[in-house]
Amino acid sequence: MRVHVFFHDRCFDGAASAAVFSRLLRERVHPSAEFSYTGLAHRASQLFDEALFDGDENAIVDFKYSTSPRLNWWFDHHQSAFLTPEDADHFRKDRSGKKFYDPSFKSCTKFIAHVGKETFGFRTDELADLIHWADVVDGALFPDAETAVAMKAPALQIALVMEAGPDGGMSRWLIPQLASRSLADIAADERVTKLFQPLFDRHLGSLDLIRNAGQCDRGVLYFDLTGPGVEVYNKFAPYYLFPECAYAVSICPSNFRTKISVGSNPWNKAGTTHNLASICERYGGGGHPRVGAISLEPGHLDEARQIAGEIVEELKRPPGDASQ
């Protein structure tokens, strides 16, 4: 049996979710299963291609819901998990016992581990370190911003290579490694080490770009990285550079989207009372209450800047204040 697993691409929690799900299925459901992996990215048009679901069984982890009859398994923890109310209704009516949703979990990885244990009797002792770090990374549970930016932990080095590396297939190689090897062992693998240092140097350079481009006003930081063409930056860097900010709004380009990121400072909780997922949903995006994003078509910079400007102004106002 071939199980095709779809996961949030270039995301540590997405890859870790796929790894834990694979172990769960192999140990408790399909012992002889073979797995293939495909990363999914948020785009301006987020419809699923039915032809993608070509496995004997198909699964989506850490990504939006699909009503496809070919989808057998689904796990997610985002507030914005459903593209339409009809999708949410479809999920509520599902009786397969194989589709699970709980936005109270900080990481999808920990959610899968929890469901695996409670529903399938799955033991996660060997995966405890992976589950812990997925929760830290996706839940912003670092003790301080410097820890997140310095990237000394093996998990953070792996995350950088996965999220910012040039190899689009890195996640597909990493998922089986995450399911069977320690994080320290994987981080020391030549396939990771040869990419990490150049990417870390680029990361240090992006700190200067954000520092120079950032404008913080009334607790809201804004910066536009489309000029220097920075597609990916450490999402905790703004709070390391501008610890006084409560929110950060940025624009980044790529060849398949123009991305607006909206985040809140985990170490400055004063005033972070806006639901960022709900704000992003109004523009076709989504996420979690404390972090969200919007994807527009490539090159739609004027539209992105207009939306980002509107969000910045909204975040400067107390929730419920409709004044302009």
Alpha carbon distances (Å) from 207 to 124, 155, 216, 238, 265:
37, 20, 15, 8, 16
Asked whether 147 and 155 are in contact (CB, 8 A), the reply is no
Distance CA 297, CA 254 (A): 10
Give the residue-averaged pLDDT of 129-141: 96
Identify the weakest region by mean pLDDT among 66-80, 155-169, 190-204: 155-169
Please determine, for residue 50, whether its predicted confidence score (pLDDT) is greater than 90.
Answer: no
Helix spans in the chain (H): 12-28, 85-92, 108-120, 128-139, 145-150, 154-164, 170-180, 183-187, 190-213, 237-241, 276-281, 301-316
pLDDT of residue 45: 60
Kindly report the pTM of this predicted structure: 0.89
pLDDT of residue 172: 87
Asked whether 256 and 217 are in contact (CB, 8 A), the reply is no
Q: Edge-to-edge strand order for the sheet containing 247-253? A: 215-217, 220-224, 247-253, 258-264, 291-296, 286-288
Please determine, for residue 104, whether its predicted confidence score (pLDDT) is greater than 60.
Answer: yes
pLDDT of residue 257: 87
Beta strand 258-264 pairing with 247-253: antiparallel
pLDDT of residue 48: 75
pLDDT of residue 324: 46
Give 179's pLDDT tier (boundaries 50, 70, 90): very high
CATH architecture entry for 2-139: Alpha-Beta Complex (3.90)
pLDDT of residue 207: 96
At CA 8, angle to CA 7 and CA 12, rounded to 5? 105
Task: Write down the mean pLDDT value for the chain.
Answer: 93
Mind listing the pLDDT tens digit for each residue in 217-239? 999 999 999 998 888 899 999 99
Please determine, for residue 93, whether its predicted confidence score (pLDDT) is greater than 90.
Answer: yes
pLDDT of residue 46: 58
Give 41's pLDDT tier (boundaries 50, 70, 90): confident
Please determine, for residue 167, whether its predicted confidence score (pLDDT) is greater than 90.
Answer: no
Give the residue-averaged pLDDT of 304-317: 96
Identify the weakest region by mean pLDDT among 61-70, 201-210, 220-229, 262-271: 262-271
Please determine, for residue 6, whether its predicted confidence score (pLDDT) is greater than 70.
Answer: yes
CATH architecture entry for 214-316: Roll (3.10)
pLDDT of residue 165: 82
Q: Which residue has the higher pLDDT, 306 or 273?
A: 306
Give the residue-averaged pLDDT of 83-91: 95
Asked whether 298 and 254 are in contact (CB, 8 A), the reply is yes
Query: Domain-by-domain residue ranges, the chain?
Result: 2-139, 214-316
pLDDT of residue 311: 97
Give the residue-averaged pLDDT of 108-118: 98
